């Protein structure tokens, strides 16, 4: 532990700054990154508004190039700082980071691709890491668990919505015809989904008495169907709340740690952990 090479030391330090949010430097890095992400999304949005684009085109273009270069450097540093770079590259965040950087370069060749920069919104998910809010991590875990536990039920429910939409969509196409905007079965199915989900744009509406009668039936059905996913999720939450009362909340405390393994990038180590629970690598080599 005492005779570390200077290069290793530098890499470990880099890993700490980029991947973790426990040290002041790591926190600063994350906050700067967060602002860069938000700025980049705002610039893409402003660029899409014609009046802005006409006036400030050059400024917006330069600002985006600056941010893209910052992101490119960050991406390369992330690859360097990790011992197993491919594990990072093909991880969820690795792919998001890549997709957030590349569109601006491609826009040099193909016009219009820079709008994909909106994918950078996904990078905002890092915000939870930065804020170190275990509560939010716990809450999002609970959300994810509820959805996972209800997966089968939700699949059955979506399948039912799908079949109902096809059958009633076709029926409405037959009843209403093209005069009211039900120009084809796919459009009718689209209208049926719009109605079942109670969105109701009103771009296509039934005008015949029979069509309005069937539409009323679909709406009341949708009204009833909306109860199903809500009921499923509610029941899951209730049973999760009940479990949490009987068990101590210690497992959530584990999630507090924002450390990432310098070898395999796995996160969520126990607070006092010395070695990575996944690859067995030493977590803080320089200590």
Residues 51-110 within binding reach of its own copies (CB under 8 A):
none
| CB neighbour class for 14 (10 Å; exposed up to 12, middle 13-18, buried from 19) | middle
- State which residue, 9 or 198, has the beta carbon closest to its own copies: 198
Write out the binding residues for its own copies, residues 26-45 only, by CB under 8 A.
41, 44-45
Write out the binding residues for its own copies, residues 3-22 only, by CB under 8 A.
none
Give the range of 2-10, 56-64, 138-146, 272-280 binding its own copies by CB under 8 A: 138-146
- State which residue, 55 or 135, has the beta carbon closest to its own copies: 135
Q: In sequence order, what are the residues at sequence separation of 6 or more whose Cβ sits closer than 8 angstroms to the Cβ of residue 211?
A: 172, 175, 176, 180
- State which residue, 209 or 248, has the beta carbon closest to its own copies: 209
Residue 64 C-beta: closest distance to its own copies, Å: 14
- State which residue, 56 or 237, has the beta carbon closest to its own copies: 237
- State which residue, 76 or 253, has the beta carbon closest to its own copies: 253
Determine, following the binding rule CB under 8 A, whether residue 201 of this chain makes contact with its own copies: yes
- State which residue, 183 or 278, has the beta carbon closest to its own copies: 183
Note whether 155 and 201 are within 8 A (CB): no
Give the range of 8-16, 28-36, 59-67, 111-119 binding its own copies by CB under 8 A: 111-119
- Here's the x/- map for its own copies, 231-250, by CB under 8 A: it reads as xxxxxxxxxxxx--x-----
DSSP state of 55: H
Residue 75 C-beta: closest distance to its own copies, Å: 20
- State which residue, 80 or 199, has the beta carbon closest to its own copies: 199
Write out the binding residues for its own copies, residues 117-136 only, by CB under 8 A.
118-119, 121-122, 124-125, 127, 133, 135-136
Write out the binding residues for its own copies, residues 144-183 only, by CB under 8 A.
146, 152-159, 161, 163, 166-167, 169-171, 173-174, 183
Q: Which of 187, 256, 264, 282 binds its own copies (CB under 8 A)?
A: 187
Size of interface with its own copies, in residues (CB under 8 A): 88
DSSP string, 88-157: HHTSHHHHHHHHHHHHHHHTTTSTTGGGGGGGGGGGGGGHHHHHT-HHHHHHHHHHHHHHHHTHHHHHHH
Residue 269 C-beta: closest distance to its own copies, Å: 22
Note whether 187 and 204 are within 8 A (CB): yes
Q: What is the rounded CA–CA span in Å between residue 114 and residue 145?
A: 35
Structure tokens, 141? 């875990």
* Strand-pair partners of 282: 275
Q: How far apart are the first and last CA of the chain?
A: 8
Residue 204 C-beta: closest distance to its own copies, Å: 9
Structure tokens, 180? 């009211």
- State which residue, 2 or 50, has the beta carbon closest to its own copies: 50
- At CB < 8 A and 24+ separation, what contacts does 192-195 make? 192/164, 192/165, 192/168, 192/218, 193/161, 193/165, 195/219, 195/222
């Amino acid at each position: 532990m005492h005779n570390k090479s200077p290069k290793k030391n530098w890499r470990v330090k880099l890993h700490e700054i980029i991947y973790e949010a426990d040290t002041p430097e790591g926190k600063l890095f994350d906050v700067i990154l967060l602002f860069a992400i938000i700025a980049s999304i705002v610039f893409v949005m402003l660029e899409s508004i014609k009046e802005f684009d006409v006036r400030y085109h050059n400024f917006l273009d330069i600002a985006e190039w600056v941010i893209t270069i910052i992101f490119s450097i960050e991406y390369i540093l992330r690859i360097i700082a990790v011992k197993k770079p491919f594990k990072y590259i093909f991880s969820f965040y690795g792919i998001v980071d890549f997709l957030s950087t590349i569109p601006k370069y491609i826009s040099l060749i193909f016009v219009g691709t820079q709008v994909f920069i909106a994918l950078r919104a996904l990078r905002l998910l890092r915000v939870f890491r930065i804020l170190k809010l275990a509560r939010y991590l716990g809450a999002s875990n609970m959300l994810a668990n509820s959805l996972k536990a209800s997966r089968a039920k939700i699949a059955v429910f979506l399948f039912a919505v799908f079949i109902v939409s096809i059958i009633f969509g076709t029926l409405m196409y037959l009843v209403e015809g093209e005069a009211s905007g039900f120009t084809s079965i796919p459009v009718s199915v689209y209208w049926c989904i719009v109605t079942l989900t109670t969105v109701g744009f009103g771009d296509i509406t039934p005008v015949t008495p029979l069509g309005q009668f069937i539409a009323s039936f679909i709406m009341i059905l949708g009204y009833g169907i909306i109860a199903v996913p809500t009921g499923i999720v509610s029941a899951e939450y209730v049973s999760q709340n009940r479990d949490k009362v009987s068990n101590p909340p210690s497992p959530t405390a584990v999630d507090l740690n924002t450390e990432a393994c310098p070898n395999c990038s796995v996160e969520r180590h126990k607070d006092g952990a010395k070695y990575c629970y996944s690859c067995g690598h030493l977590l803080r080599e320089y200590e």
